[in-house]
Each structure stands twice: as structure tokens, then as C-alpha cells.
Amino acid sequence: MAVIEKIIETTTKPIRQTVDGLYNIFLGMFTVAKNTTRNPITNQYPEKMPDLYPRSRHRLALQVDPDTGEHLCIACKQCERVCPDACISVIPHDTVKAKSTQFYIDHGLCMFCGLCTEVCPTDCIINTVDFEMSEETREDLIYDIRKLTLTQEQSRTYFDLKGYESKATKKKAATAADPSKLKPHLGGISQKAVQAALEAVGIKKD
Ligand code: SF4
Ligand code: SF4
């Protein structure tokens, strides 16, 4: 039996190989014919800019509050700590709390993973959709706080694009949902006085 099977195998092998070969040639010809009539899908960059998704990750930038223009960085250094490439350097202000005096990002080292933007508690650091950032030297790829910070209008555009909410919008939404969540600005007023004032208008402070 084994001898017969071997003879069948040997005689039918060239036939199977020929059929396989013809099938693959036909498939290739069919694919070429199908795509010959299609419109080309290659974008002729830079004549035509590619369509980028709002959350595509390119050049990093720092946002300001779109309503007030206040810088959103609170110098918490979370982005610096999480960066796997160690390409962020945040220098906090010596005396003013929650303020950075300098901020460096080395775009030559950055791999645009977006981790820094994920951990930022104030939505300050973002990936923009700007990918055109070629420079002549590597040093020019190190951006300082001035080069990184967006204008108020640019920040508003990115807030809208990425669906962020400004402090004022968040506060308005929280107040509308539950007035007791409105945190009073304590200033020089004692906790007791605040408690009494809140109770007077029927709000229990948590
Ligand atoms: S995108 Fe990634 S590599 Fe680039 S600065 Fe942020 S955390 Fe670092
Ligand atoms: S995580 Fe955000 S707020 Fe904190 S240092 Fe980085 S950019 Fe500034």
C-alpha cells in the first residue's frame, strides 16, 4: 500500500504544483487589473496636507486656560517622572507654589507615546497635530517654555478639538449639578464662619 501511495504522490505532485502556480498567477493578474481602474490614494505632500485625527500625537505643547490666559502648568513634574525617554525637564518656581519657571522638552528624544499628556492633571501638556518640525541641528529640537506655550486662541482650538473643559466650564457644570460642590474661597474667613454662612442658605458643607 505504501508503495502505491508513494507512486500516486510522485505522479500527482507536479500537477498540483502547476495548478497552484496558475492560481497564484491568476490572482496576481486579477489584483493588478482591479487596482488599475482605482483612483490613486497617495497624498502629494506637501502640496496636499494629510487628514490628521484630532488625537494624533505629534509636537508637544503647553496650554493656557482659554478663558483667562493663565498658564496651566502647576509644576507637579508628573510628566517628567512618567516619560520613558527622560526628555522632559520641569523647573519649578523658587518661591511661587504651583508655577514653573522653565520647561524643556527634547523633541529629538521624544517617541510621541503620549504618556506625559495622560498623566497631566491640568490638561496642560498636549500632543498637537503639527508634525512639521524638522530643524537643522538637534539642539533646535529642544523647546523651552516660550516655544512650547500655545496662545490663548491656539489653546481654545485644542480644548475644542480634544474635548477638554476649561476651569470655568467645569465649575459651572459642577455648580449646576450640585450647588454644595461649590468650594468657597476661604481667604481670611474662618471655617466656622463659612460653615455658618453655608448652613444659613441651606447648604451642608462636606
Ligand atoms: S510623548 Fe512620551 S517620550 Fe515624548 S515627552 Fe511625552 S512621555 Fe516622553
Ligand atoms: S504634568 Fe502637567 S502640570 Fe504637571 S508639570 Fe507636567 S505639564 Fe505641568
Mean pLDDT for 87-112 is 95
pLDDT category, 186, cuts 50, 70, 90? very low
Q: Is residue 21 assigned to a domain?
A: yes
Q: Is residue 52 assigned to a domain?
A: no
Ligand having the closest approach to the CA of 83: 1
Q: Which atom in ligand 1 lies closest to the alpha carbon of residue 82?
A: 7
Q: How far is the CA of 97 from the centre of ligand 1 (A)?
A: 25
> Which protein residue's CA is at the shortest distance from atom 6 of ligand 2?
79
Write the pLDDT tens digit of every residue in 13-45.
999 999 999 999 999 999 999 988 888 788 888
> Which protein residue's CA is at the shortest distance from atom 3 of ligand 1?
110
Range of the domain at 192: 176-200
Q: What total number of domains does the chain contain?
A: 3
Query: Within this chain, do residues 7 and 76 fall inside the same structural domain, yes or no?
Result: no
Cross-strand bridge partners of residue 109:
none
Report the b/e string of 13-24 with b at 16+ CB within 10 A: eeeeeeeeeeee
Write the pLDDT tens digit of every residue in 108-157.
999 999 999 999 999 999 999 999 989 999 999 999 999 999 999 999 99
Q: How far is the CA of 80 from the centre of ligand 2 (A)?
A: 8
Rounded-to-integer distance, Cα 75 and Cα 10, Å? 76
Could you tell me if 116 and 79 are in contact, meaning their C-beta atoms sit under 8 angstroms apart?
A: yes
